[in-house]
Copies of this chain bind each other. A is one copy, B any other.
Amino acid sequence: MVDPVRLLEQKGLKITPQRCAILNFLQQTTGHPTADQVAEYLNRDLPMTSRATVYNTLNTLRDVGLISEVTHEPGVLRYDANIGRHHHFICKTCGRLDDLDWEMFGKLPVEQITSQYGRVDQVEVIVRGICRECQPD
């Protein structure tokens, strides 16, 4: 958990309540909220924060690399402050998105793909299934 003010300063961005709140929220939550869920949360701390600002702010933070976008479900864009290496589990029933530990998958054949494609920046594993809470019983 890093101080939002510090992060923003490092990137040369102005410190605003909205940005700090969004960074805090994304760092605290383990879920991967959509822009709308971020907006909803923001309106509790900072009432009347406009949706447009939430979208703009998320894009700004993404552009400087403080957060990342996740898109594994059609039409749903989620955000994540965890920019380290990790994989994802998606529940097909409730839609929850959990992080999976990077080590779990051992050594992935990155060199082989690199030699084939020239350059590889990211390797991610997506697991789709049904989480414990959504099991029939």
Contact = CB atoms under 8 A, between A and B. Distances in A.
Nearest to A106: B109
- A92, A108, A117, A132: residue with the most chain B Cβ atoms closer than 10 Å: A117
Interface in A96-137: 100, 104-106, 108-109, 112-114, 117-132, 135
Contact of A121 (B75, B92, B112, B122): B92
A30 to B, nearest CB: 15
Copies of this chain held together in the complex = 2
A84 interface: no
Contacts of A100: 113
Interface of A: 69, 71-75, 77, 89, 92, 100, 104-106, 108-109, 112-114, 117-132, 135
